[in-house]
Amino acid sequence: MADNFTEFAKSQMGAVEKLIKGLPGIGGYIDKELRRDADKRVREAIAASLDQSKAALLGVQNALLKGGGLALMDEINEAVTALQTLADRIKTASYGYAGLFDPVRIKEEQLDALVRFDKALAREVGAVNEHIATLAQAVKDRGDINAALDQLNQKVAELNTLFGKRSQAIETPGLLDDPTYPPPADASNA
């Protein structure tokens, strides 16, 4: 996903940008900026997906309310709030890259690790939608709503934990040197 954004950005470079990129010491900086922009776009796509998930969950909440499920409104509100918090954290996350003249440098491999991290996170976001669909079906069928809601809340909590590991990796860039990083959100899925 991020690779596509990076390649697209490179293809859109004008003649002056390509000339500047050819200058010694500048090319790597521009490549890092493209990676940084790609990382931002991946995170924006993930956050947009979570916003759509939240909208779907609000629809489930309305259906539940119409069906007399007032007792579960607090639990649904907690799930909505958790999804919104996660989306906001992703939108406002650090880029993980220092500027051209900053004393601390983050290597291309570490930026690639952030891209890998964000791709792993994007794969996990799809599971949120599956849990929301399961919850919607439970509401429709008047099934085990509590179990479906618990599974959704657990998945959102796992994603928050996983995203917390991304922040830790940025604060301690050495963690990103490990090609197996990021660790899975749930060790049983590894």
Q: Note the pLDDT tens digit of each residue in 67-124.
A: 877 888 888 999 999 999 999 998 888 765 444 444 445 666 667 777 777 877 888 8
Q: In this structure, is residue 13 part of a structural domain?
A: no
- With bands split at pLDDT 50, 70 and 90, how would you rate the model's confidence at 10? low
Per-residue burial over 22-46, b = 16 or more CB atoms within 10 Å of its CB, e = otherwise: eeeeeeebbbbebbbebbbbbbebb
Domain assignment present for 59? yes
Q: Please report whether residue 134 resides in a domain.
A: yes
- Beta carbons of 65 and 73 less than 8 angstroms apart: yes
pLDDT of residue 128: 93
Q: State both tokens at 170.
A: 């940025």
Instruction: Please report whether residue 18 resides in a domain.
Output: no
pLDDT of amino acid 65: 86
How many domains are contained in the chain?
Answer: 1
33, part of any domain: no
pLDDT at 27 over 60: no
User: Per the domain annotation, does 38 fall within a domain?
Assistant: no
Burial of 58 (0-12, 13-18, 19+ CB in 10 A): middle
Q: What is the mean pLDDT of residues 114-137?
A: 87
Q: What is the pTM of this model?
A: 0.70
Instruction: Print the domain residue range for 95.
Output: 45-189
